[in-house]
Amino acid sequence: MNRTELSRPVLVTGPSFLGLQTTCVLEPVRDPGIYVRLPTGNAVPLLEMTLGVNRLFRYLTLRWKKSILRIPEHLLGLIFNLGLDGVLIIPQQFRLPYDGRAKIFWGAISPALRQSGKLDWLTVPTPLAVTASPDRFIKIYPAEQGCRTFKFDINVGYSELGEVRLRGIAGEKGQSEQFASARPYLRNRRLQALASLARRCGWPQGEIAVSLTSDTDDAKTALLEELCWHRLLDMLGSFMAVCPQGGRIAGSIVTRRVGHAVDIELMRQIKKTTLVKV
């Protein structure tokens, strides 16, 4: 994965998670790193913001004092995967456009991308892990010296669907379209009912989640594969929030049936660690 940058400002427009029309501008800047413009007008480095999780709706948050940016993981995951650097994120009214995936951002960013040298790569000095149960965990293993890649080994499984495993390297050629189009799985019945009620009240986010279209093995496998790609998108969004300015975290990630809350615990461990260059 090489460094990319924007050749011009990019405008992304669409409804927010709450259905309110909003706009986000991605503006190229000379300084390395990713920055976020606050409602006050000040810009802060992404690394200095506090990463959190909304446990009810299961999305990530970025906090700076009293300002909270909701559901940044899809944009940040795409930024990680593209090697994108030198960007100021300017969300109108501190809300991001949202369509359940990263496609709305990919469609706007891809025509403005250009290659721009190399990234700095750093890794954890020792393995780190967060375990929810013996078969539910996330682990990161250090990259070997000179190995500047982020390898992933993802397992996604549900009792009604089975399980699928996805392995690869983030940022590989031809990955972005599938990666950006993957949606989450709305399994929780209370959230399904809430979404249905919201749609009847005019909420414009109709198809933000994927569901099982038929009860065949092929349909279940296709759904699980999409969920693996979305899991990668969300996970990379978490990692982007702790990446050093102008760089990426290298290493090998193994994750089994966990989500945002466990990711956040691993990110807290990484922020307490002194990363080393590879």
Q: According to the model, what pLDDT value does residue 26 have?
A: 98
Q: According to the model, what pLDDT value does residue 188 have?
A: 59
Q: What is the pLDDT of residues 147-178, one digit of tens each?
A: 999 999 999 999 989 999 999 999 998 888 88
Same domain? For 93 and 160 the reply is no
pTM: 0.94
Last residue of a domain, one of 55, 83, 115: 115
Same domain? For 143 and 103 the reply is no
Same domain? For 137 and 42 the reply is no
CATH code (residue 210): 3.30.1700.10
Ranges of residues in the chain with a pLDDT under 50 are none
Last residue of a domain, one of 81, 98, 115: 115
Same domain? For 166 and 265 the reply is yes
Q: Which long-range contacts (CB under 8 A, 24 or more apart) does 206-214 make?
A: 207/100, 207/183, 208/98, 208/99, 208/100, 208/101, 208/183, 208/184, 209/100, 209/183, 209/184, 209/185, 210/183, 210/184, 210/185, 210/186, 211/185, 211/186, 212/160, 212/161
CATH code (residue 84): 3.30.230.20
Q: According to the model, what pLDDT value does residue 189 have?
A: 61
* Enclosing domain of residue 33: 4-115
**Percentage of residues in the chain having pLDDT higher than 70:** 92
Q: According to the model, what pLDDT value does residue 191 have?
A: 61
Same domain? For 110 and 124 the reply is no
Last residue of a domain, one of 86, 115, 144: 115
Q: According to the model, what pLDDT value does residue 52 have?
A: 95
Q: According to the model, what pLDDT value does residue 203 have?
A: 61
Same domain? For 169 and 227 the reply is yes
Q: How far apart are CA 252 and CA 235, in angstroms?
A: 13
- The string of DSSP codes covering 79-125 is HHHHTB-SEEEEEGGG----SSSSHHHHHHHGGGEEE-S--EEEE-S
Same domain? For 170 and 197 the reply is yes
Q: Which residues contact 129 (CB under 8 A, 6 or more apart)?
A: 137, 138, 139, 140, 266
